[in-house]
Amino acid sequence: MLVLRSSPASPFGRKVKMAALELGLMERIEIVAADTNDPSEPLRRQNPLGKIPTLVLEDGTTLFDSRVIVEYLDHLAGGKIFPAGEARFAQLRLQALADGIADAALLQVYEGRFRPEEGRNATWLAHQAGKVTRGLEALEAAPPAFPDRPRIGEIALACALGYLDLRFEGKWRADFPKLVAWLDDFAARVPAFEATRFKG
């Protein structure tokens, strides 16, 4: 079995789980929850960065981060969610943008979690929020069309939007109606999205 160290709320862990479901690999993966704040967590030996998702292979080799893991899973499945040729770069770019939105959102969450209120930096929070807003504006201007099966860029985007719903009470929805419609369509066509939703 492959072991995925993750947590239910992680947008990057969700991306890996959705990719595994889409690729038909979920039966080969055991998900073991990781506490990234626990200094005694084996995760810190599995991934010196102490980050999730981290994938432990059968021979003990570990793979991180999520972009490497999804490429590995796609390789195991014979190449389904990373298209060939020019289309590959459009998907990699979309994944980078979606992951960047999730990263900037996560950093805002961490600012609230790790810093006492009086130490929080409003300028830095606004800097991160700007990345999310500009990313969503770019996507709203041209929501990515996707064919019958989602590819890695679209999977990453759904996870980033799902994370904004989870941690920011879906406030983005008021300003980005085309992306709301895009996510509704994605959720209707890709059961793996609902199957990996964290409701807590």
One-letter-per-residue 3-state SS of the chain: CEEEEECCCCHHHHHHHHHHHHCCCHHHEEEEECCCCCCCCCHHHHCCCCCCCEEECCCCCEECCHHHHHHHHHHHCCCCCCCCCHHHHHHHHHHHHHHHHHHHHHHHHHHHHHCCHHHCCHHHHHHHHHHHHHHHHHHHHCCCCCCCCCCHHHHHHHHHHHHHHHHCCCHHHHCCHHHHHHHHHHHHHCHHHHHCCCCC
The smaller minimum CB distance to ligand GSH, of residues 53 and 150, is found at 53
Q: Which of 10, 46, 91, 128 binds ligand GSH (CB under 6 A)?
A: 10
The smaller minimum CB distance to ligand GSH, of residues 103 and 140, is found at 103
Q: Which of 2, 5, 12, 179 binds ligand GSH (CB under 6 A)?
A: 12
Q: How far is the CB of 26 from ligand GSH (least distance, A)?
A: 18
CA angle 163, 168, 174 (to 5 degrees): 100
Q: How far is the CB of 177 from ligand GSH (least distance, A)?
A: 27
Residue nearest to ligand GSH (CB): 65
Residues 106-165 binding ligand GSH (CB under 6 A) are 106
Q: What are phi and psi of 153, to 5 degrees?
A: -65, -45
Q: How far is the CB of 181 from ligand GSH (least distance, A)?
A: 26
The smaller minimum CB distance to ligand GSH, of residues 19 and 106, is found at 106
Q: How far is the CB of 41 from ligand GSH (least distance, A)?
A: 10
Residues 38-97 binding ligand GSH (CB under 6 A) are 50-53, 65-67
The smaller minimum CB distance to ligand GSH, of residues 53 and 153, is found at 53
Tell me the number of residues near ligand GSH by CB under 6 A.
13
Strand 62-63, strand 54-56: pairing: antiparallel
Q: How far is the CB of 178 from ligand GSH (least distance, A)?
A: 26
Residues that bind ligand GSH (CB under 6 A): 10-12, 36, 50-53, 65-67, 99, 106
